[in-house]
Amino acid sequence: MSSSTHFVAPVKEAQVQVDQVSLSSRKSNLWLDAWRDVRKRPLFWISVVFAVIVVVMAVAPGIFTQVAPSGGACKLAVSNGDPSAGHPLGFNRQGCDIWSRLVWGTRTSMTVGLLATLIGTAIGLIMGALAGFYGGWLDSLLSRIGDIFFTIPYIVAAIVVMTVLSSARNELTLAFAIGGFSWASTARIVRAEVLRVKQSDYVMASIALGLSRFKTLLVHVLPNALAPVIVVATISLGHAIVAESTLSFLGVGLGGNTVSWGADISQAQATLRTAPMALFWPSLALTIAVLAFITLGEMLRDALDPKARAQR
């Protein structure tokens, strides 16, 4: 029996270098990514500056002017007067200081706008969350109610409400008249977002572990569906300010001695040819305030949308 010899070729040991993948230790989530994106955009900071000025002017008007906007401070002797010391924008037809009325009118617009936004957002959040999470007949019922309110122009509805409740005109009544009919669009957005979030694994795991569906909605679904709600609320604030000014312009706003941009614009129509600046300044203030909040909402919407961030 012949023996066979096995030869093994020498093998050179080669050292293979593998690049180590280094993971970034920087925290990342939806809000942090949105902040890192939006803080690089000049338009965001411009809108923030104007929004902050409007809010501060509404909270503390005494910082900006010491002149009363109505009452004894108005003198017909200076009707439609030019700017002078202490009165940088001149006087309106009633002899009231235009700058003072602009400052104090900010409080009226912001109060009504903020209350109307809170009311409309709260109703839309509740209706949309219940419809999207529970589904079935409740979804059909709430969605049809939302469709009915969606077809009603909330400005027209607010005019009817304020006309009927003419003896109880105040900020809260006007806010309910606006916010009570403008929640349908918010409800649709919340419903769509809840439908997306409730399919997540952590929501199913929460239900499987025995947590009630209502608690799951409050603890896990709603917190993760608030991003578009905040964006819509910011934009809705600008729309609510426009609605308040529109109602005051039409004479169905707060009325009385309440200072409002819309009322000033309405009164300044009669002197448009002889004193156009009395119409220009409240119109400019309204435009700046509305654009500030709407632009801020648009910036937030783009920053919170990963697809929109990827396209830039």
Over the stretch 231-251, which tens digit does the pLDDT of each residue have?
899 999 999 999 999 999 988
Q: What is the CATH number of the domain that holds 127?
A: 1.10.3720.10
Report the predicted TM-score, pTM, of the whole model to 2 decimal places: 0.84
Domain-embedded: residue 14: no
Count of other CB atoms within 10 angstroms of residue 255:
16
Nearest CA to 266 out of 254, 78, 104, 163 is that of: 254
Domain-embedded: residue 249: yes
Range of the structural domain that residue 281 is part of: 103-311
Distances (CA, A) of 123 to 109, 130, 145, 237: 21, 11, 12, 15
Could you tell me which residues are beta bridge partners of residue 91?
A: 97
Q: Decide if pLDDT at 6 tops 70.
A: no
CA angle in degrees (0–180, nearest 5) for 269-273-276 = 70
Domain-embedded: residue 176: yes
Domain-embedded: residue 83: no
List, in order, residues 6 or more apart from 129 with CB less than 8 Å away: 190, 191, 194, 217, 221, 222, 225
Q: Decide if pLDDT at 22 tops 90.
A: no
Q: Decide if pLDDT at 101 tops 80.
A: yes
Cα distance between residue 192 and residue 181, in whole Å:
20
Domain-embedded: residue 265: yes
User: Would you place residue 110 in the very low, low, confident or very high pLDDT band (cuts 50, 70, 90)?
Assistant: very high
Domain-embedded: residue 110: yes
- State the DSSP H helix or E strand holding residue 104, giving kind and residue range, or none if neither: helix 98-134
**Burial of 133 by CB count in 10 Å (0-12 exposed, 13-18 middle, 19+ buried)?**
buried
**Burial of 242 by CB count in 10 Å (0-12 exposed, 13-18 middle, 19+ buried)?**
buried
Q: Of 5-9, 66-70, 82-86, 229-233, where does the model show the most confidence? A: 229-233
Cα distance between residue 259 and residue 92, in whole Å:
13
Domain-embedded: residue 29: no
Percent of the chain with pLDDT over 90: 42
Distances (CA, A) of 256 to 14, 131, 166: 91, 41, 11
Terminal C-alpha separation, the chain: 79
Q: pLDDT tens digit string along 261-311? A: 998 998 888 888 888 899 999 999 999 999 999 999 888 888 877 666 666
Count of other CB atoms within 10 angstroms of residue 23:
6
Distances (CA, A) of 116 to 173, 176, 292: 10, 6, 18
CA angle in degrees (0–180, nearest 5) for 179-237-257 = 75
Count of other CB atoms within 10 angstroms of residue 233:
23
List, in order, residues 6 or more apart from 185 with CB less than 8 Å away: 124, 150, 232
Distances (CA, A) of 251 to 70, 74, 110, 248: 18, 21, 19, 5
Domain-embedded: residue 301: yes
Give the chain's domain count: 1
The sign of the torsion formed by the CA atoms of 56, 61, 63, 65 equals: positive
